[in-house]
Structure 1
Amino acid sequence: MSGLANEASGPVSRFASESAGLSGLREWQRALRAQFPIVTANPGIAYLDNAATAQKPQSVLDAVIAYLTSENANAGRGTYPWANRTTARVERARDRLREFLGDPDPDRSGVHFVSGTTEGLRAVARDWLAPQLRDGDEIVVPYADHSANIEPWREAAALARARGDHVTLLAMPYDAAHDYDAARLADLVTPRTRMIAATHVHHVYGNDMHVARLRAAAGPAVPICLDAAQSIGHLAVSVAELDVDFLVFSGHKALALPGTGAIWSRDRRGPSFAPGGWHGTPNTSGIVSLTAALDWLEAAGVDRIARWTRDLAARLTAGLSELDAYEVLGCQASLAADSVVQRRQGIVTFRHREIGSNDLGFILATDGFLVRADGHCQGDQGEKTSSVRVSLHVHNTEREVERLLTRLAELNSG
């Protein structure tokens, strides 16, 4: 683990110069980093795969242990005190999520817990949208985003087709910077548009997809379903500002345990959302962890987390842009650290022009840099060649980014 074996030693690259964006947050960040036991227990490792799953702060782990060792019971299936308190925990978790999302009308919205984003998007498509679809209807699908935000809408169309109703899937338009093209989207929307599927932060390019613009393009009547897997826990999210009808995310990417996530539904455009089928025992320990994670994030300051990871990503993209052997994916105008269009929300994805991405990922892992190296579950119109993705969170440091750039520079000639 030579790359990070000693934080105090080794060459310091020119990227160690003072950063105005980071300097005021260093003490705050050090205090938060110390709260991640897996990070402090592995000083030779730089965990850089937070878009796949995030590490957990001690308070989240403590909340789960306290629940499991003091009053673990099934929710909604008993009248004794432990069961009643577990049921109350689940209901409080719904209210806590509404509060975290800035829900402007919490008495009329819905919160349903699921295993994660994929199940949540599929439930919206299968249980809410599909029964309403009729012959000639249309769905706008983001084919250059994650497959989890593509396949459910295909399934909804297939369910309609099985009834004899033909539904057209229209491709979400993108501009040259890999943002949604709101002007072209406005031209796509017709009275037969029944859903627009969108992503808040792109899982490969790392850019904020400017979802708030989609409402003006779509008009007041068209429902919008938002994949927020890469935004919840990474930047501030306000459903009032976004004006979407569904927001779906995974808890494990937001500092909670795996196997939990949520669907928030506005319940204004169309019928109120309710997942279909018979539901068994909820993931109570996961829900407990999600509540604790939201509390931790709010106390830490999600806006400051976003500033920290954006500035780290800016430093990484600026360094990569000066290494000829690397191609940084996404908006090329945002590669400079001082770029006015810098919008990478802690995610930077790149390729080496000679070393295969899987091999590069293995090389980096041997040096203590844990990154993702594959195709990243891209949709039909996404990148076809594998790449290396670095995804940052608040426990990551400037020194980790500098050391990563130093190692990548050593590989610059292949």
Structure 2
Amino acid sequence: MSTGRPLPPTGHADDGPDRLWQRKLREQFPIVTAHPESAYLDSAATSQKPQAVLDAVHAYLTTTNANAGRGTYPWANRTTRLVEETRERVKEFLGDPEPGRSTVHFTSGTSEGLRTVARDWLVPYLRDGDEILVPFADHRANLDPWLEARRLLAERGVGIQVRALPHQAVSGDYDHRALGGLVGPRTRFVAATHVHHVYGGDMNVHRIREAVGPDVPICLDAAQSVGHLPVDLADPALDVDFVVFSGHKAMALPGTGAVWARNARGPGFRPAGWRGTPNTVGIVSLGAALDWLDEAGADRIARWTDGLTTRLTDRLRHLDPYEILGCPTSLAADSALPAAQRRHGIVTFRHRDIPSDDLGFILYSHGFMVRADSLCQAGADDEKGSVRVSLHVYNTVEEIDRLLAVLTSLA
């Protein structure tokens, strides 16, 4: 499995062998092949599902469906075994270097997973006067739980400081130099994002680890990386303590996600309270999705979507009315910047004269499904908004070129 650092830029995704490989994969998505006139460009919100996942769900519901950990008859036993096997499958998929120590807890998605870490692990862990660093310019799901933790602690008479993880306003990347000046002896926890949901950039988690030192737990929002990029927790570049992701963004069903905990810094992670019936069919779909992604090749998927991203940004940046959000010097295909500054499958932009919600409707009228609003970004200007194009392996070079033709006509 590849490293946690971004893959190198690949230029345009139009190589012959890759096109044949991609075409075979695209044919495995029934909803995509059933609507050739439409281009689904909203995979950062949720991914489409391959036939293998749909088949696994159908097989489970028609042969095995039962509650997990509640009965001793064969269907219940098989369901319990599937759930436990998927826990281990998640560890394997993430390249877990110590699966005997780590744990996996299934959730409804990234938002619930981060909130579970905040309420059930962070609140008991912190003491009066402790400090935490969290992102104030990423997805709201990676800010609100930590503010809630501060409120819960305050109700118990425990005061903590919540400091903003410094970021660069133009690029969206974390300001790692400024971060070093914020770390102190009472810094107990850092929450960060792996790939930014608006700017599409890798947030260079290895630099956060360098800044905070070897002992501070780091929780990683990996909603836009797991299922989109190779994620290898054995690599020192991803020396984090929690990885939280949504299955529905990684080819599995909605209402499915996971918290992986390394359990090497601080107390072991154990969700509090009585755990009710798990989303067994969602967990089955997640196992099937991880199998599909492994067979397709996460590194190859990333190279394909990176190539499409480069194709779109390299041409869109020359259209005068458009502003591409994020690091402006990472747009060109011939950029001399290191790979860490590249975008991964997400391009977000605005038109100088056309409001973003109107632009979203115009693009839909031409067959393009994109996200057009504030993108759930903490601190975002809701009125201004933006248009986000987010890609996956079922997207094609032709779709990008059609999109560019429409955007050019509006310039």
- TM-score, structure 1 normalization: 0.93
What residue is the counterpart of 1:237 in the other structure? 231
What does residue 265 of structure 2 align with?
269
Q: Where does residue 12 of structure 1 map in the other structure?
A: none
Encode CA deviations 1:256-305: one digit per residue, 9 max, x unaligned. 00001000000111111011121110000000000000000000000010
What amino acid maps onto 2:33 in structure 1? T
Q: After the TM superposition, which residues 4-403 of structure 1 pair with which residues of structure 2 at under 5 Å, given as runs?
A: 19=12, 22-175=15-168, 176-241=170-235, 242-341=238-337, 343-380=342-379, 385-403=384-402
How far has the Cα of 1:239 moved from its partner? Answer: 1.6
Q: Corresponding residue for 1:408?
A: 407
Structure 1 residues 382 and 88: alpha-carbon distance in aligned structure 2, compared to 1, 3 A threshold: farther
> Paired residue for 1:14?
none
Distance in structure 1 (CA, Å) of the matches to 2:15 and 2:307: 7
| Structure 1 residue matching 2:162: 3-state secondary structure | strand
Alignment deviations for residues 21-44 of structure 1 (CA, whole Å, 9 cap, x no partner): 644411110000000000000000
SS at structure 1 position matched to 2:95: coil
Rounded Cα–Cα distance in structure 1 between residues aligned with 2:69 and 2:192: 34
**Which position in structure 2 is the counterpart of 1:9?**
none
Q: Note if contact 1:53-1:252 (Cα within 8 Å) is conserved in structure 2.
A: yes
| Alpha-carbon offset, residue 177 of structure 1 | 2.8
The C-alpha deviation readout for 1:184-226, integer Å capped at 9, x for no partner, is: 2122111211110000000000001111221111111100000
Q: What SS does the corresponding residue of 1:240 show, helix, strand or coil? A: coil
**Counterparts of 2:285 and 2:212, CA distance in 1:** 36
1:208 and 1:22, CA in 2 relative to 1: closer, same or farther beyond 3 A? farther
**Which region of structure 1 is more displaced relative to structure 2, 336-345 or 187-196?**
336-345
Does the CA contact (< 8 Å) of 1:21 and 1:307 recur in 2?
A: no
Q: Structure 1: which amino acid aligns with 2:29?
A: F
Instruction: Give the 3 Å change call, closer, same or farther, for CA 20–381 of structure 1 in structure 2.
Output: closer
Could you list the structure 1 runs, at least 4 aligned residues long, displaced by more than 6 angstroms after superposition.
381-384
Q: Residue 139 and residue 335 in structure 1: after superposition, are their counterparts in 2 closer, same or farther (change >3 A)?
A: same
CA contact under 8 A between 2:12 and 2:308: conserved in structure 1? no
Q: How many residues align?
A: 395
Q: Which amino acid aligns with 1:234?
A: H
> Deviations for 1:313-347, whole angstroms, at most 9, x for unmatched residues?
11111111111111100000012122233511000
Q: 2:407 is aligned with what amino acid?
A: L
Q: CA deviation at 1:381?
A: 6.5
Structure 1 384/304 Cα, relative in aligned 2: closer, same or farther at 3 Å? Answer: farther
SS in 1 for 2:388: strand
Letter paired with 1:399: E
Deviation at 1:384, TM superposition (A): 6.9
**SS of aligned partner of 1:120:** helix
Where 1:249 maps in the other structure, the secondary structure is: strand
State whether residues 143 and 381 of structure 1, in contact with CA within 8 Å, keep that contact through their aligned partners in structure 2.
no
Any gaps of 5 or more consecutive residues in structure 2? 1-10
Residue 234 of structure 2: SS of its match in structure 1? helix
Kept after mapping to 1: 8 A contact 2:13/2:308: no
Q: So what's the TM-score if we normalise by structure 2?
A: 0.94
Letter in 2 for 1:230: Q
Measure, in 2, the Cα distance between the counterparts of 1:117 and 1:269: 21
**Can you list the C-alpha shifts for 1:165-198, whole angstroms capped at 9, x where unaligned?**
1111111112353222222212211121111000
Assess if the C-alpha contact under 8 Å between 2:348 and 2:386 holds in 1. Answer: yes
| In structure 1, distance between residues paired with 2:383 and 2:373 | 10
**In the superposition, relative to structure 1, how do residues 382 and 93 fare at CA in structure 2: closer, same or farther (>3 Å)?**
farther
CA distance in 2, matches of 1:322, 1:309: 21
1:220-271 per-position Cα deviation (integer Å, ceiling 9, x unaligned): 1100000000000000001222010000000000000000100000011111
Distance 1:270 1:20, change over 3 A: closer
Distance 2:383 2:264 in 1: 38
